[in-house]
Amino acid sequence: VRTCRENAVFQKPGEYPIFIKDLCSGCGACWIVCPNKAINRKKEEIGKIYLNKEQKTENKKQNFWLITGVAKAGLEETGPVVTETKKFALNFAKKIRANYILFDTAPGTHCPVISALLGCDFAYCVTEPYSNGEL
């Protein structure tokens, strides 16, 4: 129970642990350390990956692909969706011999953002003013 950094496994004293699926990041730490081997990993669809190609026009000769990862509505832990989308994008970029890959993430410094940044050569931070015009 203490191994889960997302607090997806909760246990009251003297009771069986409770698993909170929506908080799970899919790291697998719980099933590795469980002394009774009571936790099984299973694949479950938590999102979708979409691949779209920008159509060429007379003035545009670039080869631009857009890969989007979308988590299921209501899912609190989107890290696995980001990780799988990034893997897909890296494999696709290798396949088409892309010169550049641009990752756009949700705002913040949470785990999915860090996951998207791992292995990047450059990072550009974009800020937006708050409603009162201050940062």
Shared domain check, 59 and 33: no
Least Cα distance to 21 among 69, 77, 67 occurs for: 77
Could you list the residue range(s) of the whole structural domain that residue 101 is in? 47-117
The reply to whether 33 falls in a domain is yes
Shared domain check, 113 and 57: yes
**pLDDT tens-digit map of 63-96:** 788 899 998 888 777 888 888 999 999 999 999 9
Number of compact structural domains in the chain: 2
Residues with Cβ within 8 Å of 56's Cβ and at least 6 positions away in sequence, in order, are 62, 63
The reply to whether 60 falls in a domain is yes
Please, what are the averages of pLDDT over each run of 10 residues along the chain (135 residues)? Answer: 86 90 82 84 87 75 83 82 91 91 78 82 78 61
pLDDT score, position 14 = 93
Helix (H, G, I), strand (E, B) or coil at 53: strand
Query: Whole-prediction pTM value?
Result: 0.69
Residue 9 sits in a domain of what CATH number? 3.30.70
